[in-house]
Amino acid sequence: MSSILIKNGIIITLGDHNKILHGHALLIEGDKIKKIAPEAEFNGKYDTVVDARGKVVMPGFINAHMHFYSTLVCGLGKADPSKDFNEVLKNLWWRLDKKLVLDDCYYSALLPMIAAIKRGTTTLIDHHASPFAITGSLDVIAKAVKETGLRASLCYELSDRDGEKIAQEGIEENVNFIKRCNKEKDPQLSALFGLHASFTINDKTMHNAVKAAEGLNCGYHVHTAEAKSDQDYNIKHFGTRVVQRFQKFGILGPKTICAHCVHINEHEMDILKETDTVVVHNPQSNMNNAVGVADLIAMRKKGILVGLGTDAMTVNMLEEMRSAMWIRHLADKDPSCGFMEVTTLLPFNNPKIANRHFNGLGLGELKAGNAADVVCIDYNPFTPLDENNFLGHLCFGIGASSVDTTIASGKVLMQNKILKLDIDEEKIAHEAQKLAKALWDRF
């Protein structure tokens, strides 16, 4: 097995008993962390030595809600202006996803994963849509995951908005990829059953999806009350609120992710807590779409496991964490509220979510035996740094710093800010530009 020694950095272990270790080194063997100990204990020969002087050494970051498929929209100016969230969907995203082909899906995943490496994100939970290129779409995204060396949980976004035949194909794509992951047990890949949102799935399709998922030991990944219009539609057409409808169909549970939850009430929060369902907060997206601000503090007080996602606004999880802090202060008109509730989402809650889907890897904690997903970030603290004030350093110091080295599954993907992958970034960008132009012509 190849070995990597990381020395001279400040090691931040995270986990339930976070430790800030000065004068320690970290040894990786194969795809696991072998040992963390005082530097004097390491005097052997190692295949790779990473000098982390002037850096903090942390677990790789986790993005708990992402949309790779939106990548090629960057710079597109053809969508009509939208006055609300439903118009954003109709004028942009539901026009885009209909035009995607499998090559678009592949490059749309490859590009943000390369960017994720540069930002220290090593695990992503994605939610995909390409209604006229469904079959095989998750496999081509998985190909990009394998090529970048990252880790991802994938699903296909089931919806009725393109008709019954397309919906059935979406069900089959989810089932086939879940079965693939269950069979292969590849530590880089995991699967959820994707649902778009309650307001785009009728009772028949929802029933068929749940029936198809029986025995697959998977959760669901679904947008939940992202805009008030989702609740309004459900009350009018189904006679119930969004979370209650999901509970009725048996969709909620420890492996299910309800993204956004901006417009849920206290009773719905109680249901999410009782079912141990995960909520993922996406503050920059919610601001961009003007849908509101999720009541993160109330959900945390209820004991709901809330994580942090980007909804494809960025792959920079530190940027997302800081945005979550500022919008919380603004929403409550209180510059002192929510610090602990917000800053703990990324370093402590996202690993708990990811480990429900990558069981046994110990993601999010630097500890012997855990997966070797490690990042080195430029940060030479000029004030004391210890376990008690780590979150302050994370938000106001580390959060504005640059990632130098990214390691996933014991493979160095970037070192000294230079990618170590066997891929040609310039060639990939050139091919993506050609695909984007063709996509925009079809838009």
pLDDT digits (tens, 9 = 90+) for 5-47: 999 999 999 999 999 999 999 999 999 999 999 999 999 999 9
Residues of the chain with CATH 3.20.20.140: 61-355
Q: Give pLDDT tens digits for 346-398.
A: 999 999 999 999 999 999 999 999 999 999 999 999 999 999 999 999 999 99
| Amino acid 314: pLDDT | 97
Edge-first strand listing for the sheet containing 24-29: 32-38, 24-29, 3-7, 48-51
For residues 150 and 158, what is the distance between their CA atoms, to the nearest angstrom?
A: 25
Pinpoint the alpha helices (H) of 313-401.
Answer: 317-332, 339-343, 350-355, 390-396
CA 371 to CA 365: how far, in whole Å? 9
The CATH class, in words, for 3-59+370-419 is mainly beta
pLDDT at 244: 98
Residue with tokens 């710079």: 75
- Distance (Å, whole) CA 229 – CA 222: 16
Gap between the Cα atoms of 4 and 69, Å rounded: 34
CATH tag, 61-355: 3.20.20.140
Residue 48 pLDDT: 97
Helix (H) or strand (E) holding 283: helix 283-288
Give the β-pairing of 418-419 and 411-415: antiparallel
* Rounded Cα gap, residues 157 and 155, in angstroms: 7
pLDDT at 78: 81
- φ, ψ dihedrals at 268, nearest 5°: -65, -40
Please, is 15 exposed, middle or buried when counting C-beta atoms within 10 Å of its C-beta (0-12, 13-18, 19+)?
middle
Read off the DSSP letter of residue 158. Answer: B
Query: Across the strands, what pairs with 414?
Result: 406, 419
Cβ atoms of 375 and 403 closer than 8 Å: yes
Sequence ranges of the chain with CATH classification 2.30.40.10? 3-59+370-419
pLDDT at 77: 85
DSSP run (H or E) holding 306 = strand 306-308
**DSSP code of 128?**
B
Per-run averaged pLDDT (10 residues), the chain, 443 residues: 97 98 98 98 96 98 98 90 93 94 98 98 98 98 98 98 97 98 98 98 98 97 98 98 98 98 98 98 97 97 98 98 96 94 98 97 98 98 97 97 98 97 95 96 93
Short-list 86, 108, 176, 172, CA closest to 139 = 176
How do 10-12 and 32-38 pair as beta strands? unpaired
Residue 141, token pair as written in the block: 């995204």
